[in-house]
Amino acid sequence: MSCFSAKGERERTELREMLELSNAQKEEARKAAEAAARRGDEIARQLAAKQQEAGGLSAQLRDAGLREARLAASNEALAVQVASLQKALERAGAQRDELSERATELTAERKQAVADVRRLTRDREYLKHRVDRMQKALSMLESVLDDTLRENQGGIGAGMSDPRGAAAAAALRQSREAMSELWSKAGDGGGNGRALGSLADEPEELPRGCGMKDQHNYGLAAYRS
């Protein structure tokens, strides 16, 4: 009888130790799940800040593309005006001095427009570089968030998920897709800048002998339109 009693006592002791170990493991899992949830919240805050910064960069990029397209169109109008003035020089020899000054003024404005487009093109490339870096950062955050979700799910239990982490992951993916779409739309203005740069490299034949004041007013009005 004492043998069975001793054996039962050992079994109860073993069961009690196993229960204590299980409780300790559950407590560790709970703490790990809480830590994972805190990491998920921090990543979500970082994601919101990155999304806001990415939105600002995308807006700047879109504005730069629009300004570049407008300057390219203005340059084309100025080129047409220069050609028209050269033909007018052939028809009106008496106005050669005045037309030469007017053509010189338009050429200076055209060169300034070319310089502005080149500067905007450089700004656009810089913004593209910033957007690319932002996309890489968002991709890294997505990877870290996925790892955190897996750890969190393991701590919570099989068959359960963290809705906050899943929502943050979905928002991250939507942000990256929206940024890619904005960049693809804003990137269409680069061709005009390249065409404008090639026009600026062409040698120009300037007419001789034309006045400056009327040419300046006429060219400036066309440039602003």
pLDDT in tens, 39-90: 888 888 888 888 888 888 888 888 888 888 888 888 888 888 888 877 877 7
Q: Distance between CA atoms of 182 and 192, rounded to whole angstroms?
A: 19
Which residue carries 């899943």 as its tokens? Answer: 166
Q: Which amino acid is at 197?
A: G
10 Å Cβ neighbour count for 220? Answer: 13
Q: Distance between CA atoms of 51 and 114, rounded to whole angstroms?
A: 34
More confident residue, 216 or 145: 145
* SS3 state of residue 33: helix
The predicted model gives 122-134 an average pLDDT of: 84
Look up the pTM and report it.
Answer: 0.33
Q: Distance between CA atoms of 163 and 208, rounded to whole angstroms?
A: 76
In a 13 Å sphere around the CA of 33, the CA atoms on its Cβ side amount to: 16
Highest mean pLDDT among 92-96, 119-123, 133-137: 119-123
Domain count, the chain: 1
What is the domain extent for residue 32?
2-224
pLDDT cut 70: percent of the chain above it: 67
Q: How confident is the model at residue 112 (pLDDT cuts 50, 70, 90)?
A: very high
pLDDT for position 118: 92
Q: Are 65 and 124 in contact (CB under 8 A)?
A: yes
For residue 163, pLDDT beyond 50: yes
pLDDT for position 222: 39
The tokens for 183 are 């960049």
Q: Residues with Cβ < 8 Å from 72, sequence gap 6 or more?
A: 117, 189, 192, 193, 195, 196
Q: Distance between CA atoms of 118 and 121, rounded to whole angstroms?
A: 5
The predicted model gives 31-37 an average pLDDT of: 87
For residue 199, pLDDT beyond 70: no
Q: Are 188 and 65 in contact (CB under 8 A)?
A: yes
